[in-house]
Copies of this chain bind each other. A is one copy, B any other.
């Protein structure tokens, strides 16, 4: 029953947008994806097969990118979190990005407006390992400089929240937009 024979997802079934029930489901699964469909159905007011059907659709449409174990960085000996600005000659060319993302310590690579550098997020065992990673990044062709910012402590770290509101309101205290 697998219709994904073509390589290119040309005729996706319109990817019907996420409704309130879907958001409730996402809210549950973001918190704990190990719940049974029976319990998931209970929580959002659906039968187990219906809940299952919704989740399958959310996966197919890509709304649920994956289901992943969230690891404690300390448990894998990466307690040190840092943000690094990387200046590159090419400024976002694919080869450099590939080279940078090779390192398993690198978790995020962003291009920031108003800045000619990449902002990356890395985790290492300690400052020495960070130093080593930075020098290895510096050796990457195209990288001209790095500046790193060590995080002292993290107070919140959570995945994307679905936001189970009825429908996206403009902030209460703001006037209607003019355009």
Interface residues of A (CB under 8 A from B): 18, 23, 26, 29-34, 58, 61-73, 75-78, 81, 83, 92, 97, 100-101, 104-115, 118-120, 123, 125, 128-129, 132-133, 135-136, 149-163, 168, 170-171, 173-174, 177
Contact = CB atoms under 8 A, between A and B. Distances in A.
A77 B70 CA distance: 23
Give this chain's copy count.
2
Given A30-B69, A32-B66, A68-B31, A158 B107 contact: yes
A76 B92 contact: no
A112 B83 contact: yes
18 contacts: A18-B75, A23-B76, A26-B71, A29-B69, A64-B71, A69-B159, A71-B159, A71-B160, A76-B161, A77-B168, A81-B110, A92-B153, A107-B161, A108-B158, A109-B156, A109-B157, A111-B152, A112-B149
